[in-house]
Amino acid sequence: MADLLTHVLVPFVLLTPLSWRLSWLSDQWIVLAMAGAAIPDLVKIRIVLDSRVIESLLGVPFSYAPISTLGGVLVVAAAIAVCFGDHARRAYGYIVFGGLTSLVLDGLRVFADGQANFWLYPFVWWRPPTPSLYVTSDPRVTAVAIAAAATVFLADRYRAGFGE
Amino acid sequence: MNRSARVLVIVLAVGLLLGMGVHFDTQYDDRWPYPTTDAIEADDGALVGQEVFVSGVVDRVDRAADTGRILVSTADGPFEMTVQNFDAPVQQGGAVQVVGRLDSDHTIDARTVRVVNPSGSSTLFKYGVSLVGAALVTALVLRHWRIDPRTLSFEVRRDG
């Protein structure tokens, strides 16, 4: 998968220009989409807690991989969204949106056989075709994401200053 | 949403995640269109000639012989595989994906070798940048939202 910084910047780049047209799309919702974009990266929990530990506790085979799938995003987003009280439903939508952008972005990365992983699980066991646009550690991907986010940020500040 | 309903949703979500984790792992071998790395390691010749897809960490590259040796993970730890037609710009410690025909002695006649990490330091870069991303998104959420100690839920910061 792409690095976490790239993941969280993508919803910012996509939603901030929309917020210039849509008054209800304010910054607090955009940051929730950015937080949602981090959900697939939670699969890295395996670095600190090996799946074999969970397997020994449960007594059955276990994988963290579903966290980086559509099902994982929908479920983790629900657990996070309920922490937003009266805003839970709206928060859920933005968190899921952010998670989806990360899944789609990861679905475009390099796979040697031209098909991505099972990121649509559990709805379908299918490996969608990938254009193999980038490798996960390519710093150019991060550079493009930072440049795009900086451009959007400056344009947003300019508009905010212009409106005052 | 009251506190008990919130706790219930979170417990259900954790249960669902655990359930999906178990289901995914038990179904994966049947759904993955290639022999698993566990099967390849244990192979006594029955898989020779089949197309395989493996990911591995580069242990050694022999440019003159056009071969590479990679360490492939299994449930019981890594094992060595030799990749022929190893035409990839990668250093020791880097990571590759290989698709090709399996030969005897854990050798792959590669059709495609794709570099995932060109060197060991690539992973360090990725984790470093990811830490920056985690710090950024945490700071932004806390800038726009605050935890209400009365309801133990996030509320919009009016000054955010």
Per-residue pLDDT reduced to its tens digit, A38-87: 999 999 999 899 999 999 999 999 999 999 999 999 999 999 999 999 99
Nearest to B10 among A66, A79, A118 (CB): A79
- φ, ψ for residue B155 (rounded to 5)? -125, 155
Pairwise pLDDT comparison (B31 vs B2), residue with the higher score: B31
User: Which residues 43-102 on chain A approach chain B with CB closer than 8 angstroms?
Assistant: 44, 51, 54, 58, 60-67, 69, 71-72, 75-76, 78-79, 82-88, 91
The answer, yes or no, to whether residue B86 has pLDDT greater than 70, is yes
What ipTM was assigned to the predicted interfaces of this complex? 0.92
Per-residue pLDDT reduced to its tens digit, A84-135: 999 999 999 999 999 999 999 999 999 999 999 999 999 999 999 999 999 8
Per-residue pLDDT reduced to its tens digit, A12-29: 999 999 999 999 999 999
Q: What percent of chain B has pLDDT over 70?
A: 99
The answer, yes or no, to whether residue B45 has pLDDT greater than 70, is yes
Please tell me the CATH superfamily of domain B37-117, with its number: Nucleic acid-binding proteins (2.40.50.140)
**Are A28 and B14 an interchain contact pair (Cβ–Cβ within 8 Å)?**
no
Could you tell me which chain B residue has the CA closest to the CA of A57?
B18
List helix spans (H) across A27-138: 27-36, 51-58, 70-81, 88-106
Q: Where are the domains of chain B?
A: 1-32, 37-117, 122-156
**Residues A37 and A94: beta-carbon distance below 8 Å:** no
Task: Give, for B67, the enclosing helix (H) or strand (E).
Answer: strand B67-72
The answer, yes or no, to whether residue B27 has pLDDT greater than 80, is yes
Could you tell me which chain A residue has the CA closest to the CA of B10?
A79
Listed residue (B131, B50, B93, B68) closest to A4, CA to CA: B131
